[in-house]
A and B are shown apart, each in its own frame.
Chain A
């Protein structure tokens, strides 16, 4: 089955700096890659997704890149703000189920 590796596990950044989280996946048939943000005790919230026919996608301060050949994808958050502090999960899917990475705890220091 699909195996998704995510790193780093924790990330501390100064407010205003950028944050980058990287994921790799094992199943070359995976074609959908969402990113979720989860605040403590809350639901995972979809923040951005990318499909395998696209290399990059942006939405305001967040962007995702996908390298199908290398089987890795990354989340980029620019101009980080305190409200960006949360756990971020990447996931990969080829049909029904989402296979999640282990998560990255992002802390934005004021």
Chain B
């Protein structure tokens, strides 16, 4: 069964540094998402992306965050100047269609900001 893959599995970064999290969505999926989960808390939506554009973003997704699909397979999340509170598990997800279609999650990247 095809899966969403994410790299790296764990990223440790100094506060203030830039970090890029990478995802390879399922190949025939058209909609891509980033979510985050702070330890012990619920999964929170960050952003959705379709046709090379952001389709929706949450209030968490401020100017420090950006997303990009640099080629036909990768989908990246960049945090420009990391803060301690950015420490979380970041999940990438993808779905075939927009409405009522299952979103499949990757294994996540654990981001630790020191």
Answer yes or no: do A and B interact. yes
Provided the pairs A44-B105, A96-B48, A97-B48 are in contact, do residues A31 and B100 lie with their beta carbons within 8 angstroms? yes
Distance from B9 Cβ to chain A, minimum over Cβ atoms (Å)? 10
The answer, among B41, B56, B104, for a CB contact under 8 Å with A95, is: B56
Distance from A17 Cβ to chain B, minimum over Cβ atoms (Å)? 26
Distance from B76 Cβ to chain A, minimum over Cβ atoms (Å)? 18
Per-residue CB proximity of B12-49 to A under 8 Å, as 1/0?
Answer: 00000000000000000001010100000111110010
Shortest beta-carbon contacts, A-B, top 5: A96-B48, A97-B45, A96-B56, A32-B100, A100-B43
Interface residues in B65-114 (C-beta closer than 8 Å to A): 91, 98-100, 102-108
Contact residues in A for B41 (Cβ distance below 8 Å): 102
Contact residues in B for A34 (Cβ distance below 8 Å): 102-103
Are B100 and A96 in touch, CB under 8 angstroms?
no
10 contacts between A and B (CB under 8 A): A32-B99, A34-B103, A43-B106, A45-B105, A46-B103, A91-B43, A95-B56, A95-B98, A96-B31, A98-B45
Are A97 and B42 in touch, CB under 8 angstroms?
no
Are A46 and B98 in touch, CB under 8 angstroms?
no
